[in-house]
Amino acid sequence: MVPRFSPAATALLGLALAAAAQEKPLAFTGAQIIPIAGEPIADGVLVVHRGRILAVGAAGSVALPAGAETRAIRGKVILPGLVDSHSHIGGAQGADGSAPIQPEVRVLDAVDVRHPSIQKAQAGGITTANVMPGSGHLISGQTLYLKLRDGRTIDDLLIKLADGTFAGGLKMANGTNSIRTPGGPFPGSRAKSAALVREQYVRAQEYKARLARAGGDPEKTPARDLALEMLVEVLDGKRIVQHHTHRHDDILTVLRLQKEFGFKVVLHHVSEAAKVATEIAAAGVPSSVIIVDSPGGKLEARDLTFENCAALERAGAAIGLHTDDSVTDSRHFLRMAALAVRAGMTRTGALQAVTLANAKMLGLEARVGSLETGKDADFVILSGDPLSVYTQVEQTWIEGAKVFDVADPKDRVYAFGGAGAGDPRRVSLCCFGSAWDIIVAANGGDQ
């Protein structure tokens, strides 16, 4: 990151903020806790410390650590921070119009972390989001799994993996969005779309084989190819394909390609999932579903139904939900879970679909998606039943730092709207949004 402070000042800030992010353990008591991993706890205790969950359980079963600060929040409901498996917050774009397959393009290089859509997502209780490029390409680029910390730069929101890389997937799409007028580089039909994708993955297989044969010998190693490198990551199962697909036959095409190349894939939108729920379940491929207010708006969404989640659940498939912000507003993410229940999904399944199921689709279930000891202290405090229209998101916490508080007028405008709701969040040296800013400033990245 760009150093804006002198080393001495940075060290001081770091010290000051370390204290703010629970040098002392912080315990929330009296709330109903819905841990997702396990049954709801009527009178629960959640203890967080140094950005992680120290303990979660029923009152009386959790020993409060010495020196813990306690906040009694009787009447409230605590959920894990919501995970959105498909979003476009931050105003980022991916591939351009030059070609239908551009796996080398990174959303990383385009996200505006001060964009108001990120603050609105916090206000909706979202703590982790898969920020994607669009669906107008067969492969439109690399996605980013972000923690929605109050960051100054994109580096502050990244999730660093054990191997030093940043978490993210690869966005693919089929159907009409990536089909364009014939004559240019884009496919003019569905079969051509699939052929172009197969051709590219075959090339990646060959590239991978050449790399293996070279055995590190610089003479024999092929020249670096950013696009093929990315597809090799996919072939190696290190990067999950996040695949836009609507129509039932397009869904089956994705499953066919998945079988041929063996990559990990998540089906996104799946407007006609109910028609092929058995096939989706049999393939063992998870679905990230969107529910919008009405079908239509495009031919492929003609038969979109609220009942996709229930159909997939009955078939035994893994189901998540996503906002596709701005197709739906991040502040209404819990509403989508409620609409899934309206159309027959179980309440348990619907709450998983906005938390742990999505975490699994991003490969982040070890860190987020449920309230369990050792996981990141990402949680939401609600005024009541998560599925009720009368419930408000009151606070959103990420890694032990509060990033949204409806009682703070600066945050409230992003939750309710009003003058300034469309403006970027102001970040300055004097007024950091949360403790996280300064910790990140001091330590330079994801912890």
Q: Which residues bind another protein (CB under 8 A)?
A: 292-299, 301-302, 306, 326-329, 331-332, 335, 338-339, 341-342, 387-392, 416-422
Indicate the residue among 22 and 308 with the shorter CB distance to another protein.
Answer: 308
Indicate the residue among 104 and 303 with the shorter CB distance to another protein.
Answer: 303
Give least dist CB 183 to another protein, A.
Answer: 21
Give least dist CB 290 to another protein, A.
Answer: 9
How many C-beta atoms surround the C-beta of residue 278 within 10 A?
A: 14
**Could you tell me the CA-to-CA distances from 357 to 82, 137, 397 in Å, in that order?**
10, 26, 20
Give least dist CB 328 to another protein, A.
Answer: 8
Q: Is 203 helix (H, G, I), strand (E, B) or coil?
A: helix
Indicate the residue among 364 and 393 with the shorter CB distance to another protein.
Answer: 393
Give least dist CB 309 to another protein, A.
Answer: 13
How many C-beta atoms surround the C-beta of residue 216 within 10 A?
A: 8
222-242 in b/e form (b: 16+ CB < 10 A) is eeeeebbebbbbbbeeebbbb
Give least dist CB 274 to another protein, A.
Answer: 15
Give least dist CB 402 to another protein, A.
Answer: 22
Give least dist CB 227 to another protein, A.
Answer: 28
Contact indicator for 404, 396 with CB cutoff of 8 Å: yes
CA separation for the pair 27, 414 (Å, rounded):
27
Indicate the residue among 250 and 365 with the shorter CB distance to another protein.
Answer: 250
Indicate the residue among 3 and 296 with the shorter CB distance to another protein.
Answer: 296
Q: What interhelical angle do 409-416 and 116-123 show, nearest 10?
A: 90
Indicate the residue among 422 and 445 with the shorter CB distance to another protein.
Answer: 422
Indicate the residue among 301 and 427 with the shorter CB distance to another protein.
Answer: 301
**Any long-range contacts for 346-354 (C-beta under 8 Å, 24+ apart)?**
346/313, 347/387, 349/309, 349/313, 349/319, 350/309, 350/321, 350/387, 351/34, 351/36, 351/79, 351/386, 352/36, 352/319, 353/289, 353/309, 353/319, 353/320, 353/321, 354/82, 354/83, 354/84, 354/320, 354/321
Give least dist CB 57 to another protein, A.
Answer: 28
Closest by CA position to 309, among listed 362, 364, 269: 269
Contact indicator for 145, 154 with CB cutoff of 8 Å: no
Residue with tokens 């507003």: 329
Indicate the residue among 294 and 428 with the shorter CB distance to another protein.
Answer: 294
